[in-house]
């Protein structure tokens, strides 16, 4: 009776320890190799800050957030009362300077005529009259008139420059758009005082036409060798999770960036945003198609990671331990031995079941994506079942 119970227990114990395997079929199909990277959407020409070179009070604001603007379009106006008075004053000063030039020219004409008269009289009197002193005084008067004329003309130039300065300031009191684009931010209101003593304050932030944008992503150093200009990509943003957007690589930078020990390379993709669903600053996750393989033999990548445990020599243990040894529990082993699965980066092996026994097949692998791997050489054919994992047996109660 004791022997029968022991045999039943031994049978159940062994059956509960039987290893079961999960398999998947090898198939033939197309493989798309994808590199995933995250980044930020930006306008093509980034953004332009529009400010005021003048200090003053904002009189009117002509645009608002999201307004579409053209080159030269008025964005805001400063109060120009003081500037207009300065322009009027400068014009008056210019006219006064021009009048002074007319006076000096008349003085020159008079001094030159008097000197000529003295010279004729002196010639007729055989250099007796007028005296040399009178001749010197007449010549000095003419020279002073010429100098005064030069000074008056310089004053005219100065008055013109002052007028031009005030007229330029008056034109700058009307703030215009330097580009065709969209108003992203407006940091000014009518009645607000603008102080431009040290630097021009930013009143508006403009973006170029948002119908065309760029996606700047950071590609990991392990994947950057696959990146090339012209490759296609799709990306998604949190604002539209169920809609994929298309993009194309236009530049892959050689300069690297290291963040927390991770080295990445900035890659720029052009994006068509004709429907204006995308906005600057959105975070996007891009899937870049780096390779397409047609009609390849594909196996699950999990099959390459599978490593079966080494089967223990049960017959040897039975002969040494006997029936009682198989019934009584054994102390736990110090560790689990495993087969070595990988022989090289390209030469690996996968496992199948033949007549219920594990069988290894050497293969040469090619490209891979997140789930499937291309088989270049080896005894693998479509339809074969390869082992991808073990299934924990359910112990009998």
Per-residue pLDDT band for 357 (boundaries 50, 70, 90) equals: confident
Tens digits of residue pLDDT in 383-396: 989 999 988 655 44
Indicate left, alpha or beta for 248 from its phi (over 0: left) and psi (-120 to 50: alpha). beta
Return the H-helix or E-strand segment holding 251. strand 240-259
Residue of 209 and 331 predicted with greater confidence: 209
Compute the distance between CA of residue 136 and CA of residue 114 in angstroms, rounded to an integer: 12
Q: What is the mean pLDDT of the chain?
A: 84
Q: Evaluate if residue 323 carries a pLDDT over 90.
A: no
Report pLDDT digits (tens) over 77-121: 999 999 999 999 999 999 999 999 999 999 999 999 999 999 999
Q: DSSP 3-state assignment of 224?
A: helix
CA 216/CA 284 separation, integer angstroms: 9
d(CA 300, CA 305): 10
Q: What is the CA radius of gyration of the chain?
A: 46
pLDDT band at 2 (very low <50, low <70, confident <90, very high): very low
How far is it, in rounded angstroms, from Cα 261 to Cα 241?
Answer: 30
Residue 392 DSSP label: P
The DSSP 8-state label assigned to residue 196 in this structure reads -
Least confident of 100-109, 188-197, 241-250, 261-270: 188-197
pLDDT number for residue 18: 65
- From the list 210, 164, 192, the residue with the least C-alpha distance to 60 is 192
Cα separations (Å) of 69 from 49, 74, 77, 179, 182? 14, 9, 16, 8, 6
Cβ proximity of 209 and 45 under 8 Å: no
State whether the Cα torsion 269-270-275-276 is positive or negative.
Answer: positive
pLDDT, tens digit, 9 for 90 and up, residues 251-286: 999 999 999 999 999 999 999 998 889 998 999 999
| Cα gap 75→159, rounded to integer Å | 31
Compute the average pLDDT of residues 7-22. Answer: 57
CATH code at 33-46+209-292: 2.40.30.170
At residue 256, the pLDDT reads: 93
Question: According to the model, what pLDDT value does residue 317 have?
Answer: 46
| pLDDT tens string 69-87 | 999 999 999 999 999 999 9
> Does pLDDT of 380 surpass 90?
no
How far CA 190 is from CA of 201, 371, 380, in Å, comes to 15, 60, 76
Alpha-carbon gap, residue 13 to 314, rounded angstroms: 13
């Amino acid at each position: 009776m004791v022997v029968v119970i022991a045999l039943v227990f031994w049978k159940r114990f062994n059956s509960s320890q039987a290893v079961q395997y999960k398999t998947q079929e090898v198939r033939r199909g197309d493989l798309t190799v994808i590199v995933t990277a995250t980044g930020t959407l930006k306008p093509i020409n980034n953004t332009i800050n529009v400010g005021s070179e003048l200090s003053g009070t904002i009189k009117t604001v002509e645009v608002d957030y999201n307004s579409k603007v053209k080159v030269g379009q008025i964005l805001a106006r400063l109060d120009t009362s003081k500037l207009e008075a300065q322009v009027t004053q400068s014009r008056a000063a210019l006219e006064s300077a021009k009048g002074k030039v007319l006076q000096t020219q008349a003085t020159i004409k008079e001094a030159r005529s008097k000197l000529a008269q003295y010279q004729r009289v002196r010639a007729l009197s055989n250099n007796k009259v007028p005296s040399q002193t009178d001749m010197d005084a007449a010549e000095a008067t003419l020279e002073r008139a010429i100098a005064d004329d030069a000074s008056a003309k310089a004053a005219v130039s100065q008055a013109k420059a002052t007028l031009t300065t005030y007229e330029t300031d008056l034109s700058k009191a009307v703030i215009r758009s330097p580009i065709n684009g969209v108003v992203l931010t407006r940091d000014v209101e009518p009645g607000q005082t603008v102080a431009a003593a040290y630097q021009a304050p930013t009143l508006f932030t403009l973006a170029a036409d948002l119908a065309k944008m760029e996606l700047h992503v950071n590609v990991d150093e392990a994947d950057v060798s696959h990146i090339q200009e012209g490759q296609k990509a799709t990306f998604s943003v949190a604002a539209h999770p169920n809609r994929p957007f298309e993009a194309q690589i236009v530049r892959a930078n050689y300069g690297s960036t290291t963040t927390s020990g991770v080295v990445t390379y900035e890659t720029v993709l052009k994006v068509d945003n004709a429907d204006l669903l995308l906005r600057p600053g959105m975070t996007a996750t891009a899937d870049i198609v780096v390779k397409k393989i047609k009609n390849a033999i594909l196996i699950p990548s999990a099959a390459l990671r599978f490593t079966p445990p080494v089967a223990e020599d049960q017959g040897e243990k039975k002969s040494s331990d006997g029936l009682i040894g198989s019934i009584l529990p054994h102390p736990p082993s110090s560790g689990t031995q495993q087969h070595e699965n990988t022989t090289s980066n390209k030469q690996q092996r996968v496992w199948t079941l033949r007549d219920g026994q594990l069988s290894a097949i050497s293969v040469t692998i090619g490209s891979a994506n997140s789930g499937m791997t291309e088989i270049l050489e080896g005894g693998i054919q479509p339809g074969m079942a390869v082992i991808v994992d073990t299934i924990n047996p359910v112990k009998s109660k």
